[in-house]
Structure 1
Amino acid sequence: MKKLIIPLFAAVLLTSCGASKVSKEKAGSSVASPKTYNKAFQSAYKEIKAEDLKKNLYVIASDEMEGRDTGSPGQKKAGEYMINYYKNLGISYPKALGSYYQKVPADFMKKRGGGNLPDSENILAFIEGSEKPDEIVVISGHYDHVGTRNGIVYNGADDDGSGTVAVMEIAKAFQSAKKAGKGPKRSILFLHVTGEEHGLFGSEYYTDNPVFPLANTVVDLNIDMIGRDDPENRGKQYVYVIGSDMLSSQLKVINEAANKTTNNLELNYKYDDPNDPQRLYYRSDHYNFAKNNIPVAFFFDGIHEDYHKPTDDVEKIDYNLLAKRTQLVFATAWELANRAERIVVDKK
């Protein structure tokens, strides 16, 4: 997750932010139904395992990846590992793109304060929907970190190695359902973005140059740091959920229903408070979707003592909690991808 910035237009969106509960009556059909969370869901859900998340994270956040700075050789190595993972699962890329890579040019980043960053790439994997293929559910996470400083590797195991491997694991779960003849009704785009730490560049480039029309994009579920706990919640089974009721009256209720269906984590809405000084709604890649009027939910574990330090290492990840949070995002995505109607955008 990038460091604190305050956009000039922040105040406009903040006025719509709130932590109030949404009633089931108001949400209408948004509450997950037993028919949605069926045997196919249960089978796919069980594919998300702590040991598999750990296996991938020990590679993504290893010293070999040199901190995955934007456009660096280490980041490209991490990208190659991710692409091979998708190939092995039989998950392809969007046909219109022609490969797993969406180039993010250096000039694009430089014009937005990216200094002398080299060309980089977003990585996109894609499962086409069986009934509503033109409607897209995006599951995103950035795979860059801050690189190497003074000869010390900043591995970024939580930020955002945890989100990176969660997206990969969710893709595996959806692909297992597809192989069993129960693929998602809507299409799923697994979007690994670059340049987040320097200014949300990869997600901005995608929303400026979308592979699929933004009008057809149903939601973005963004995962940025879900492998640790913060001092305020030490030892708790929780996750922060940010922005889920900013644009849609249905998304928050769907996520809460998915949570009750799965691990029943404590859902913390602290950062939805418009007066919170951290202003986290603006600090990760979901924001570039939200500013295009696409509903978002940002899953986050909080600011812990190793944030943006070289001590953000794989040994400190709580893999069981990482798996539970990943399962929650999967369950939410499953409902969004398989419900009869796409969620409404009824807030501004």
Structure 2
Amino acid sequence: MKRILLSCATLLLFVSCTSQKSTAVADKPTASIDNYITAVEENNLKTNLYVIASDEMQGRNTGEPGQKKAGEYIISQYKKLGIPFPKGADSYYQKVPSDFMKRGFSPKLNDSENIWAYIEGSEKPDEVLVISAHYDHVGMKNGEIYNGADDDGSGTVAVMEIAKAFMKAKKEGNGPKRSILFLHVTGEEHGLHGSRYYSENPLFPIKNTIADINIDMIGRRDNLNPNDNNYIYVIGSDRLSSELHTINETVNNKYTKLRLDYKYNDRNDPEQIYYRSDHYNFAKKGIPAIFFFNGIHDDYHKPTDEVEKIEFDLLTKRARLAFALAWELANRDKRIVVDRDGK
């Protein structure tokens, strides 16, 4: 009889310890972002951009050999970092058919591909944060190569570098609580086709997508801010979620201290840029979306948009803001609320 009682006591002690251990794991505090924000590195941004925006990529026009070569390079870097393609996919590519990209009088485009990489969440893997940038540009015209270093080579390499920082955290046991999809979309220059295709054919349920952080042109100053090397335009942050707007301001005040300019978020601004980049296809589906943008400069959509004109210190700081926002969204206890109508 004593032996039986002793066994029961031992069993109860084991269950109690196991329960406490499980609780401890579940309540593990989020690692400090300070350990990882500096993993978004200027030198690596520069190395990747000199490849992505090189003449070898022939301006990265949608579905053409140069864009496909750029895509192969992007994938090679994800493989090098050990970042896989998403669960449920069979490769790093999401094919975007030519027929899908045919609209009105736009030119016929070749089949193209979105590129995706993925870090699974440790606690809320079914909730997905999307970080997006388009990797296409306008190709070649009259024998000149439009390299698109800022548009959107800058956003492309920023997404890659943000992924690198999150993977460093994961390897050190501090991976994001929610899953993150790093999405390089195609066909933006011809009508936001790649992001529209993903939003209509999502790998993960749209209802499980907590937000989209979109990065399109963050490596230069625009014509309105020639003497300001510490600003970024923020667009859309308050359209669907008051929390997204507040969180972005909070992490900026704490970590990057950029001047957040909301000029293009004005509902009456004539440029209506809120509707002109890939975040909008997520916003149309009710997904909170924020767009980081440096504005229009004299080299926009010209062959003079070259890497040599990129301000890499500014690009790094803006990419770090996007990382800090992503870190908070991926690791906070509750997903951000949708409490606005999107207008």
TM-score, scaled to structure 1 = 0.88
**Correspondence 1:196-345 to 2 at 5 A:** 196-236=188-228, 237-345=230-338
Cα distance, 1:43 vs. partner?
1.6
Residue deviations 1:67-111, cap 9 Å, x none?
A: 000001000000000000000000001121111000000011114
Q: Which runs of 5+ in 1 are unaligned?
A: 1-34
37, 55, 75: which one pairs with 1:83?
A: 75
Q: Percent identity?
A: 66
Cα distance, 1:44 vs. partner?
1.3
Residue deviations 1:144-202, cap 9 Å, x none?
A: 00000011000000000000000000000000000000000000000000000000000
Query: Tell me, what secondary structure is at the counterpart of 1:123?
Result: strand
Query: Tell me, what secondary structure is at the counterpart of 1:64?
Result: helix
Q: Which residue matches 2:166? A: 174
For residues 329 and 188 of structure 2, what CA distance do their matches in structure 1 show?
25
The letter of the residue matching 1:116 is K
Cα pair distance change 1:213/1:175, threshold 3 Å: same
For residues 195 and 232 of structure 1, what CA distance do their matches in structure 2 show?
28
Q: Which runs of 5+ in 2 are unaligned?
A: 1-26
The letter of the residue matching 1:253 is T
The letter of the residue matching 1:318 is E
Contact kept, 8 Å, 2:136 with 2:152, in 1: the verdict is yes
Contact kept, 8 Å, 2:30 with 2:174, in 1: the verdict is no
The letter of the residue matching 1:224 is D
Query: Tell me, what secondary structure is at the counterpart of 2:212?
Result: strand
**Correspondence 1:81-120 to 2 at 5 A:** 81-111=73-103, 114-120=106-112
Contact kept, 8 Å, 1:134 with 1:187, in 2: the verdict is yes
Provide the aligned C-alpha RMSD in A.
1.4
Give the length in aligned residue pairs: 314
Query: Tell me, what secondary structure is at the counterpart of 1:181?
Result: coil
Cα distance, 1:37 vs. partner?
10
Q: Which residue matches 1:141? A: 133
Query: Tell me, what secondary structure is at the counterpart of 2:179?
Result: strand
**Correspondence 1:52-71 to 2 at 5 A:** 52-71=44-63
Cα pair distance change 1:37/1:44, threshold 3 Å: farther
For residues 30 and 118 of structure 2, what CA distance do their matches in structure 1 show?
23
Query: Tell me, what secondary structure is at the counterpart of 1:262?
Result: helix
128, 131, 153: which one pairs with 1:161?
A: 153
Contact kept, 8 Å, 2:31 with 2:174, in 1: the verdict is no
Runs of 4+, deviation exceeding 6 Å? 35-38
The letter of the residue matching 2:152 is D
Cα distance, 1:266 vs. partner?
0.1
Contact kept, 8 Å, 1:36 with 1:339, in 2: the verdict is no
Q: Which residue matches 2:6? A: none
The letter of the residue matching 2:166 is F
Contact kept, 8 Å, 2:30 with 2:331, in 1: the verdict is no
For residues 323 and 105 of structure 2, what CA distance do their matches in structure 1 show?
34
For residues 264 and 302 of structure 2, what CA distance do their matches in structure 1 show?
22
Q: Which has the higher contact order (CA 8 A, sep 6+)?
A: 1
Contact kept, 8 Å, 1:196 with 1:202, in 2: the verdict is yes
Cα pair distance change 1:36/1:324, threshold 3 Å: farther
The letter of the residue matching 2:183 is L
For residues 321 and 215 of structure 1, what CA distance do their matches in structure 2 show?
34
Contact kept, 8 Å, 1:130 with 1:185, in 2: the verdict is yes
Query: Tell me, what secondary structure is at the counterpart of 2:238?
Result: coil
Residue deviations 1:196-242, cap 9 Å, x none?
A: 00000000000010000000000000000000001211232000000
For residues 125 and 334 of structure 2, what CA distance do their matches in structure 1 show?
13
Cα distance, 1:261 vs. partner?
1.6
TM-score, scaled to structure 2 = 0.90
59, 69, 74: which one pairs with 2:66?
A: 74
